[in-house]
Amino acid sequence: MKLSFRDVEREKEVQASELLPVGQLPLDTPDRPVLAEPVPVTVKAEFQDGLVWAWVTARARLTLSCARCLEPFEIILEPAFEVRLTEESGEIVIEDEVRQNILLGLPAQPLCAPSCRGLCPQCGGNRNKKGCGCTPGTKDNPFDVLKNLKLKS
């Protein structure tokens, strides 16, 4: 979906809705979020004082991996933003703006639940599903050797 300065200038107001296919919004990030369904987008654009102002809303359902337990879970992001076009900028591709705003809305540390207990550091089992029976022992600390260090004063 493209929004053209000239079209909005001529019409004074433009409204559009579109369902963006999953393939049109590549989310190539290290976290590997995946769009679960097409993204509905609505655009309302107006020509005011020599500029085009566009208000865009979208609703994206994504599947992410939990940062603690690595299990997949779904979240819904609803980015709403505005875009300003000038005569020099000409036109804008709405898909690019929607993609960027979805990426900006992703959590820095995605968690399936705030109470997620994560993986056991000893056996790697998911502590949310069942207890693994591992005893929480102390790991060897490489700085333990400094306890016996004697410094000259």
Write the pLDDT tens digit of every residue in 84-104.
988 888 888 889 999 999 999
Which of 32-64 are b and which e, b meaning 16 or more Cβ less than 10 Å from the residue's Cβ? ebebeebbebebebebeeeebebebbbebebeb
Torsion of CA 64, 69, 70, 75, to 10 degrees: -10
Whether the per-residue pLDDT at 76 is higher than 90: the answer is yes
Question: pLDDT band for position 138 (50/70/90)?
Answer: low
Taking alpha carbons only, the member of 129, 105, 119 closest to residue 31 is 105
Mean pLDDT of the residues in the chain: 89
Rounded-to-integer distance, Cα 35 and Cα 77, Å: 11
Q: Is the pTM of this model over 0.75?
A: yes
Other Cβ atoms within 10 Å of 85 Cβ, number: 21
CA angle 110, 111, 113 (to 5 degrees): 155
pLDDT of residue 137: 63
Taking alpha carbons only, the member of 53, 54, 110, 44 closest to residue 77 is 110
In angstroms, what CA-CA distances link 140 with 47, 127, 147, 149?
Answer: 67, 22, 13, 17
Q: Helices in 94-143 by DSSP H: which ranges?
A: 94-105
Question: pLDDT band for position 110 (50/70/90)?
Answer: very high
How much is the average pLDDT of 108-124?
91
Would you state the structure tokens that stand for residue 72, as one six-digit string? 């997949």
pLDDT of residue 79: 96
